[in-house]
């Protein structure tokens, strides 16, 4: 049975794949996310996702390789991972009371056929007005340290999110409907064919993980 290779070390993406019951293996790409020339957000995440997928696809034959990249964009500017707690506080202050966009690009490579497909999901996220205590206490949790935009939608920052328009799982880092569509298109068959019959699927809600809990009405 063909297996999915996740070219990412993100535990959040891995949890979401487990939720679907898809057999997969994690093989981080290790590629640089610094580009030589500035790009628009959609083009930026597409390029990085393709680099990740291509770097890992060279090591396999007959498997599907998934590359993904997510950025937070406020007023046209990409907010990366904060350099330190002060930088995280500055980012959260900028996001406070505003609507921003989360872009995630997915690239799938079928190493059996050499086919490649990519797509980008965009979600609008509105953050309520945050108090100084909100920002200080959240940064002190350490949760913002390795997150684009300095917040984790699947963590304590869920209480900051006033509304979401689009796919919630995109904000977590893996737009599942988009992934399902890409997988079906590249295989020319239903993605259900990748899931073993009778495979158990972890209940991420009862286990205390919040990746599977949408906080929005999708549009």
Residue 191 sits at φ, ψ, to 5 deg, of -60, -20
Structure-block tokens of residue 184? 């079906």
Which residue among 69, 119, 146, 203 is the active-site one? 69
Our answer to whether residue 134 is catalytic in this structure is: no
Catalytic residues: 69
């Amino acid at each position: 049975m063909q297996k999915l290779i996740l070219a990412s070390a993100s535990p959040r993406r891995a949890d979401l794949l487990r939720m679907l019951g898809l057999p997969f293996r994690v093989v981080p790409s290790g590629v640089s996310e610094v580009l030589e020339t500035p790009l628009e957000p959609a083009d930026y995440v597409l390029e990085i996702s393709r680099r990740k997928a291509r770097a890992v696809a060279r090591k396999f034959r007959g498997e599907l390789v998934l590359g993904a990249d997510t950025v937070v964009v406020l007023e046209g500017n990409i907010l990366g991972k904060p350099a330190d707690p002060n930088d995280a506080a500055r980012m959260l202050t900028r996001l406070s009371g505003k609507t921003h966009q989360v872009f995630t690009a997915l690239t799938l490579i079928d190493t059996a056929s050499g086919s490649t497909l990519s797509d980008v999901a965009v979600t609008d996220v509105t953050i309520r007005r945050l108090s100084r205590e909100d920002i200080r206490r959240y940064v002190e949790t350490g949760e913002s340290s390795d997150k684009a935009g300095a917040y984790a939608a699947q963590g304590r920052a869920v209480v900051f999110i006033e509304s979401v328009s689009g796919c919630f799982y995109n904000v977590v880092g893996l737009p599942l409907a988009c992934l399902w569509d890409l997988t079906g298109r590249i295989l020319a068959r239903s993605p259900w064919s990748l899931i073993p019959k009778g495979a158990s699927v972890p209940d991420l809600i009862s286990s205390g993980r919040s990746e599977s809990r949408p906080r929005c009405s999708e549009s």
